[in-house]
A and B are shown apart, each in its own frame.
Chain A
């Protein structure tokens, strides 16, 4: 064989001559196109059967609609997030209004909450009308019911403010007695007894006033609204362990 020659150029020529000698006859397959098209159709049918939604989405995405679909996706995402955020905010506001309203109609709980949280006594809180506005939507109050509720709460608000202030003052005095008792044991027990009596009276008065208000509210509300009213306050106030719930007031009413 001439390839045994050592010169690379000669070897290359021999190899190339040998390579060029290999001629292949390639007869045309008459059924090639049919076979290919049949297999493609089968593959497509299988893919459609396996994952029609996913494949159609991918196809839709690849067919030069990528930008529009991305934008649509982003808009959808922003909308969903906004709806969720608005709903979350509404729920938070509702819980806050609920808590504030409960404190407003229960001077004992109000005073205790102020004492526990150490916040200023006259903090900027939502007005009764604001809270009733929320309740109007929640309980589905009619215009007439709402007007009666506003009048009712306005009438009671002076009494509640007075009781709440009195209870706060009693609490302050009580703290002074407690400090004296713990530090020097030198306190006027008669005066302390009078203070406790005064506190019990104020608490009883508060309870009576709250019950009175709730009873009148019940006369304004329909049975469905009444049930909603009770469930609303039972749920919302249950998180506050130090304050009595509306169920307690309801139990007494």
Chain B
């Protein structure tokens, strides 16, 4: 996880509020990677990520007068990014018929999984689980998805996540619990399907 100095971010943001574009460039240098990582996990499309990250910084500059220095910069930044991701997903849903189906070919599964399995069949199962995980996160409701990604991948605290998604810290805890329950249920239903496929001799069962 990024270990940025929050005070520095606030100071940079104050300079940005005065129209200092060099300060904005410094913030881009600091936050580009975390933002790409968050946005990619949310929308799972590398081409879209480029546009959304750029748009996030543009929105950040546009809303520089509304920045509250008492709150964490990261919360504010991820709030903007999450809203943009949500809007993109809505747009994608509305234009589903016009747009091509989600192409997962860009998801370099092998490079994204961290696994110790050397057995080819186990590796295949792991890849399938991983693919399911991505599909499950993709289909998750906005607040659950945002809380999950911010907590597990951006290492934000409950307080920071609560500021980003606009709820209490207790609410964040609940949302994380619901997100995990959602994933469990998703895997349970998909595992049944996988077992059926195995019985039909089409695939490999999950190792119990």
Residues on A facing B (Cβ under 8 Å): 1-4, 11-12, 15-16, 18-26, 28-29, 32-33, 35-37, 39-40, 43, 62
Contact = CB atoms under 8 A, between A and B. Distances in A.
Given A1-B207, A36-B58, A22 B28 contact: no
Interface string B99-130: 00000000000011111000000000110011
B67 interface: no
B28 A1 contact: no
Contact of B111 (A4, A12, A25): A25
B20 interface: no
Contacts of B62: 40, 43
16 contacts: A1-B125, A1-B187, A2-B208, A3-B187, A3-B188, A18-B183, A19-B133, A19-B153, A21-B130, A24-B40, A26-B36, A26-B37, A28-B32, A29-B32, A32-B53, A39-B58
Contacts of A43: 58, 62
Nearest to A37: B21
B24 interface: yes
B21 A40 contact: yes
A18 B33 contact: no
A20 B152 CA distance: 7
A113 B182 CA distance: 93
A32 B191 contact: no
B92 interface: no
A205 to B, nearest CB: 81
Interface in B6-37: 21, 24-25, 28-29, 32-33, 36-37
Nearest to B57: A36
B112 A24 contact: yes
Contacts of B148: 19
Contacts of A11: 180, 184
B191 A3 contact: yes
Contacts of B152: 16, 19-20
A29 B53 contact: yes
Contacts of B188: 3-4
B188 to A, nearest CB: 6
A22 B130 CA distance: 8
A233 B62 CA distance: 64
B142 interface: no
**Minimum-distance CB pairs A-B, first 10:** A1-B206, A26-B36, A3-B187, A36-B57, A21-B114, A1-B191, A26-B33, A19-B152, A26-B37, A11-B184
Contacts of B25: 33, 37
Nearest to B115: A21
B151 to A, nearest CB: 9
B129 A32 contact: no
A28 B28 CA distance: 10
Contacts of B153: 19, 22, 24
Contacts of A25: 111-112
A30 B26 CA distance: 14
A43 B61 CA distance: 11
B65 interface: yes
B134 interface: yes
Contacts of B65: 62
A50 to B, nearest CB: 15
Contacts of B115: 21
A4 to B, nearest CB: 6
A35 B54 contact: yes
Contacts of A18: 129-130, 133, 183
Contacts of B24: 36-37, 40
A11 B58 CA distance: 40
A66 to B, nearest CB: 12
B132 to A, nearest CB: 9
A20 B115 CA distance: 10
